[in-house]
């Protein structure tokens, strides 16, 4: 037998000790009051109808009833049953660009990475039973969070993502798409979706060709652009955050959102392009609702062997004992006519 809420059992000895102390105190106090008020031979006749054994039995009923009530709160479990769980959803992997250009401050009043992170957080909050994974990429890519329904775990990884997460800088989206494709479960039935969140600038490799290749395997590639077309300077993260990145000629680098490249990747991957505007954008939530509405949902069924709750048995015993204590009289039974007293 197991207990679903074992700490409740600690109250059982406290109930027994507390009731015993209360009854002993009450008996002494009642005796003192009676002796002080009726200290005459009449006292014995007034208390002659009280049966000490029946009173003690009432107290046992009450104490046992409260103990069984506490046991019911501790949720005893025995026996097992098999239940079938059914979950529906889609598999979605989010590829987040964490290259240095994502630190440019042209996404409202914040930088591109912060705006993209906030938009993805809104998407995680709006997702239900969908499995979501997270891949971070710059000059290389790695799976930061595998496909999971634990969106809180994905959000924890997302909150600490940045250029410092990748040792090799750049934006090799083509390699990221290939790695993500390998990470999908090929045996899984249903839609598999990849969402690339990036500024689209200076992408290395042939991302369009990679998107076209994975689309043939049934993976839809969507893109989301962040940043502005006018662009902004790229700050140096680390020891000199107030400085900007400069090129070989010593000029400050200005990074711009490359919308046409992101649209080409989405078109090759059979997906759709959307834009993240501002620091608190819900564009990804709207994209997911419109895109996911037409997708068939994955249905996952599995049997779970779990213990059965049996709290109803100690609860029934507790109610019976408490009711018995209330109905049971502590008075002696009256003598029947003709009974002879010896």
Tell me: the pLDDT tens digits for 248-286? 666 777 888 888 889 999 999 888 999 998 888 899 999
Q: Is the pLDDT of residue 121 over 90?
A: yes
Are 211 and 94 within one domain?
yes
Are 163 and 296 within one domain?
yes
Helix (H) or strand (E) holding 118: helix 112-126
Are 183 and 50 within one domain?
no
Residue 3 has a CB neighbour count (10 Å cut-off) of 13
- Residue 44: per-residue pLDDT: 61
- Give 124-134 pLDDT, tens digit per residue: 988 877 888 89
Q: Is residue 134 part of a domain?
A: yes
Q: Checking DSSP bridges between strand 2-3 and strand 76-89, what pairing results, if any? A: antiparallel
Are 52 and 128 within one domain?
no
Q: Checking DSSP bridges between strand 141-148 and strand 192-198, what pairing results, if any? A: unpaired
- Residue 342: per-residue pLDDT: 43
Inter-residue contact 166 to 192 (CB < 8 Å): no
The mean pLDDT of 309-315, rounded to a whole number, is 88
* Average pLDDT score over the chain: 79
Q: Checking DSSP bridges between strand 131-137 and strand 141-148, what pairing results, if any? A: antiparallel
Q: Which residue has the tokens 């994209």?
A: 287
Between CA 251 and CA 235 the distance in angstroms is 13
Q: Is residue 129 part of a domain?
A: yes
Between CA 105 and CA 103 the distance in angstroms is 6
- Residue 187: per-residue pLDDT: 44
Are 272 and 219 within one domain?
yes
- Stronger pLDDT, 78 or 237, i.e. the higher one: 78
Q: Is residue 337 part of a domain?
A: no
- Residue 239: per-residue pLDDT: 47
- Stronger pLDDT, 177 or 25, i.e. the higher one: 25
Q: Is the pLDDT of residue 236 over 80?
A: no
Are 52 and 99 within one domain?
no
Between CA 157 and CA 117 the distance in angstroms is 11
Are 104 and 249 within one domain?
yes
**Angle, nearest 10°, between helix axes 312-327 and 52-73?**
160
Look up residue 237 and give its two tokens: 């993260």
DSSP assignment letter at 249 = T
Flag whether the pTM goes above 0.75: no
Inter-residue contact 102 to 196 (CB < 8 Å): no
Q: Which residue has the tokens 């008996």?
A: 27
Inter-residue contact 219 to 269 (CB < 8 Å): yes
Are 288 and 319 within one domain?
no
- Stronger pLDDT, 245 or 218, i.e. the higher one: 218
Q: Is the pLDDT of residue 117 over 90?
A: yes
- Residue 41: per-residue pLDDT: 63
Q: Is residue 338 part of a domain?
A: no
- Stronger pLDDT, 56 or 300, i.e. the higher one: 56
Look up residue 157 and give its two tokens: 């990884």
Q: Number of C-alpha atoms within 13 angstroms, CB side, residue 316?
A: 4
What would the 3-class secondary structure string for 143-190 be?
Answer: EEEEEECCHHHHHHHHHCCCHHHCCCCCCCHHHHHHHHHHHCCCCCCC
Are 59 and 156 within one domain?
no
Q: With b meaning 16 or more CB within 10 Å and e meaning fewer, what string describes 195-227? A: bbbbbbbebebebbebbbbbbeeebbbbbbbbb
Can you give the residue range of the structural domain that contains 49? 2-75+311-327
Between CA 54 and CA 74 the distance in angstroms is 30
Are 58 and 95 within one domain?
no
- Stronger pLDDT, 143 or 34, i.e. the higher one: 143
Q: Checking DSSP bridges between strand 270-276 and strand 219-226, what pairing results, if any? A: parallel
- Give 43-94 pLDDT, tens digit per residue: 566 566 666 777 788 888 889 989 999 999 998 888 776 666 556 667 888 9
pLDDT band at 185 (very low <50, low <70, confident <90, very high): low
- Residue 226: per-residue pLDDT: 92
Q: Is residue 61 part of a domain?
A: yes
Q: Is the pLDDT of residue 103 over 90?
A: no
DSSP string of 63-97? Answer: HHHHHHHHHHHT-EEEEEEEEEEEEEE-EEEEEEE
Are 272 and 316 within one domain?
no
Look up residue 219 and give its two tokens: 């993976």
Q: Is residue 217 part of a domain?
A: yes
Q: Is the pLDDT of residue 197 over 50?
A: yes
- Give 218-230 pLDDT, tens digit per residue: 888 999 999 888 8
Q: Checking DSSP bridges between strand 91-97 and strand 192-198, what pairing results, if any? A: parallel
Name the least confident of 21-30, 117-126, 286-295, 308-317. 286-295
Number of domains forming the structure of the chain:
2
Are 184 and 135 within one domain?
yes
CATH at residue 269? 3.40.50.410
The mean pLDDT of 193-202, rounded to a whole number, is 84
- Residue 231: per-residue pLDDT: 82
Q: Is residue 332 part of a domain?
A: no
């Amino acid at each position: 037998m197991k207990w679903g809420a074992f700490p409740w059992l600690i109250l059982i000895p406290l109930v027994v000790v507390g009731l015993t102390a209360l009854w002993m105190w009450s008996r002494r106090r009642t005796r003192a009051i009676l002796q002080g008020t009726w200290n005459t031979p009449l006292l014995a006749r007034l208390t002659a109808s009280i049966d000490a054994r029946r009173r003690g039995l009432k107290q046992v009923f009450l104490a046992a009833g409260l103990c069984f009530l506490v046991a019911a709160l501790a949720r005893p479990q025995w026996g097992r049953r098999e239940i079938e769980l059914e979950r529906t959803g889609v598999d979605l992997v989010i590829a987040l660009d964490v290259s240095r250009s994502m630190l440019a401050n042209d996404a409202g009043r914040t930088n591109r990475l912060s705006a993209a992170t906030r938009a993805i957080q809104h998407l995680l909050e709006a997702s239900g039973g969908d499995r979501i994974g997270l891949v971070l990429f710059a000059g290389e890519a790695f799976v930061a969070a595998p496909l999971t329904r634990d969106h809180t775990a994905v959000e924890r990884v997302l909150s600490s993502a940045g250029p410092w997460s990748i040792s090799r800088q750049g934006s090799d989206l083509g390699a990221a798409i290939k790695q993500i494709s390998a990470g999908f479960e090929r045996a899984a039935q249903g839609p598999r979706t990849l969402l690339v969140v990036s500024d689209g600038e200076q992408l290395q490799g042939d991302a369009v060709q990679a998107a076209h290749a994975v689309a043939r395997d049934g993976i839809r590639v969507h893109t989301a652009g962040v940043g502005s077309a006018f662009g902004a300077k790229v700050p140096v993260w680390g020891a000199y955050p107030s400085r900007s990145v400069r090129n070989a000629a010593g000029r400050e680098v200005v990074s711009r959102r490359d919308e046409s490249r992101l649209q080409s990747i989405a078109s090759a991957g059979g997906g759709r392009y959307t834009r993240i505007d501002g620091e608190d954008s819900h564009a990804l939530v709207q994209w997911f609702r419109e895109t996911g509405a037409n997708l068939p949902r994955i249905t996952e069924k599995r049997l779970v062997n779990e213990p059965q709750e049996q709290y109803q048995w100690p609860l029934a015993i507790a109610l019976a004992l408490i009711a018995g204590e209330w109905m049971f009289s502590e008075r002696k039974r009256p003598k029947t006519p003709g009974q002879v007293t010896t």
